[in-house]
Homo-oligomer: A and B are copies of this chain.
Amino acid sequence: MADPILQKIAEHLVETEDVVILPHINADGDALGAALALGLALTDMGKQVDILLEEEVPSNLDFLPGQELIKTNPREQYSTAVNIDNGDISRLGKRESYFWNAKTRLSIDHHTTNRVKAHYSYVNTKASATGEIVYDLLLNYFKGNLNKDISLCIYTAIVTDTGGFRYTNTTPETLMICADLMRHEIDFPYVIKKVFDMISYTKLYLMKKTINSLILLEDGKLAISYLTYGDIQNYDVKNDDFEGLVNIGRNLEGVEVSVFLREDSEGNFRGNLRSNNYVDVSEIAEIFNGGGHKRAAGFNSSDTREELIKKLIAVIVPKIRREA
């Protein structure tokens, strides 16, 4: 069953001669993998393809094929622009004009929050990754063949956005697609190693500091860990580097609530909250003027660390006891 909008996008791409592909800023494995897969397929069809990025390709994605399509000397105008894996055109950053200046503007995305206006904008929120949509486009609309390079790009896109098939967005369809991609003899263990396992010095240092700070309360049901401004100020720390640190506490046997605090600037804390089974951490975050979901929430605070931890314990302990 062809989708009429994706059909129009396919028809237009078959007709056009030159295309600029625009993934969101801070392009991750899905944005970049989907852009490269589409770029390689269109190049095979004889199109002139330029992929424009806001930043350099991150080192954990430097293995992706098709990077010769990533240009730093764009044309003034393109016949066709494809916004990809991006729900908000302002997230194209400095490249926004290439989208608006194109004669035909197309958009392919899977985010529920998508609000892109284009000549044809296709949003499939059931797709775990935009890579899945590109797979669908190539196979069912272009009636093209996958090759090893394109398969590697799409596989990378999908493993990135599904956390290696562990998030709830993973569907039977996701695994069927990846089974097909694997038939092209891609080195999938290498992809997973690059995308998930490799860590930077900074990250290892932050992990070490976080583990060393970790305390357990309430018979091991509450884990609290933190990084002070002193811990991080001399390091070139990116927001990504903090990702997952709250899970060190959450993944520890017996822990119900994990709190991770980081002092982003002197006296200003960002708090992350996670729970495993029954405590609604969004309620806790709200008390500190933050918000989130039942199992994952966050807040900001300018209390001192000692004060903040004392307040958090006072709020969290009764919830752990009441609901245990």
* A residues with CB within 8 A of B: 59, 164-168, 170-176, 178-180, 182-183, 188-189, 192-193, 197-201, 204, 207-208, 211-212, 214, 220, 247-248, 251-253
Contacts and interface: CB of A to CB of B under 8 A. Distances in A.
A210 to B, nearest CB: 10
Contacts of A188: 165-166, 170
Contact of A208 (B173, B197, B208): B208
A223 B271 CA distance: 33
A198 B59 CA distance: 28
A163 to B, nearest CB: 9
Cβ-closest 5 pairs across A and B: A175-B179, A172-B179, A166-B192, A175-B175, A197-B251
A211 B207 contact: yes
Instruction: Describe A's contact surface by its main secondary structure.
Output: helix
Given A175-B175, A179-B173, A179-B176, A204 B252 contact: yes
A172 B182 contact: yes
A166 B167 contact: no
Copies of this protein in the assembly total 2
A255 to B, nearest CB: 9
B251 A199 contact: yes
B175 A189 contact: no
A16 B168 CA distance: 41
A319 to B, nearest CB: 21
Contacts of A171: 182
B166 A199 contact: no
A179 B204 CA distance: 35
A29 B6 CA distance: 42
A199 B214 CA distance: 14
17 contacts: A164-B165, A165-B165, A165-B188, A166-B193, A170-B182, A171-B182, A172-B179, A175-B175, A175-B178, A175-B179, A176-B176, A176-B179, A193-B251, A198-B253, A204-B214, A208-B211, A212-B212
A188 B171 CA distance: 10
A252 B201 contact: yes
A134 to B, nearest CB: 18
Contacts of A179: 172-176, 179
Given A252-B199, A253-B59, A166 B189 contact: yes
Given A188-B166, A208-B208, A211-B211, A253 B175 contact: no
Given A172-B180, A211-B208, A201 B253 contact: yes
A131 to B, nearest CB: 15
A136 to B, nearest CB: 16
